[in-house]
Structure 1
Amino acid sequence: MNLTPLLDDSPTLRALQDTVDEWIRTVGVRYFSPLTNMAILAEETGEVARLMARMYGDQSFKKGENPDALADELADLLWVLTAIANQTGVDLTEAFRRNIEKKTARDADRHASNPKLHDNNTQQR
């Protein structure tokens, strides 16, 4: 199996989709059903939410929880999202391009004129 595209500094979305597909077909044997992948997507989203609540919200970590797990959980989320795109015929490169165009047209003035986004008391990244 060739994982070289993902070992590059910045793989394209196409390389990501190809690598996930190759891994699933060789190591994973076959794709799970779309419904199973949707359930896995929900579970992984919950894991990210749990970590975010502990890292940036008001919850504290429980004994034994790994505070460094966010990157791995986000990668799991990206993995299953990519698998769903593959099995439903979605080209993430094209979908992302169209989505950015839609957001740009829709929100060109909306965010710039939102006083809440210019308030110095709001939390920044």
Structure 2
Amino acid sequence: MTIKEAQEVVDKWIKEYGVRYFSELTNMACLTEEVGELARVIARTYGDQSFKKGEKPNLGEEMADVLWVLICLANQTGIDLTEELQKSIDKKTQRDSERHKNNPKLKDHNDSKLKE
């Protein structure tokens, strides 16, 4: 599924099952909530915390929930995420084409990962 198709599928779902989009402010609060849930799973999976009884490592589900709400916000504000993502990639490529390659902190990190 392309990003454009995802935006269309979410829009169709909202109109068929969701009645209407929540307000932009409500969706921003929902996005914040979903990012927090994603952070919780990452902290328990890759950090020092452990899962509580009944919790599960549902990383993909939480990422999809973040994407869902982000797509809702894009749809209701008229943003073409495909176009904006391409602009972001172009900007980062132009700005950072050598920056990360020349960052000794990243080189050291990559070298230590290779040793593991």
Counterpart of 1:37 in structure 2 is 27
Query: What letter is aligned with 1:87?
Result: Q
1 CA distance for matches of 2:9 and 2:30? Answer: 19
- Alignment of 1:109 with 2:98, yes or no, is yes
Which of 83, 98, 102 is matched with 2:87 structurally?
A: 98
SS of corresponding position for 2:18: coil
Counterpart of 1:19 in structure 2 is 9
TM-score w.r.t. the length of structure 1 is 0.87
1 CA distance for matches of 2:93 and 2:24? Answer: 31
State the number of aligned residues. 112
* 4+ residue segments displaced more than 2 Å: none
Counterpart of 2:18 in structure 1 is 28
Q: RMSD over aligned Cα, in angstroms?
A: 1.1
Query: What letter is aligned with 2:14?
Result: I
Between the two proteins, what is the percent identity of the paired residues? Answer: 60
Greater share of residues in helix: 2
- Structure 1 unpaired stretches of 5+: 1-10
Q: Which has the higher contact order (CA 8 A, sep 6+)?
A: 2
SS of corresponding position for 1:32: coil
Q: Deviations over 1:84-103 (max 9, x none)?
A: 00001100010001000000
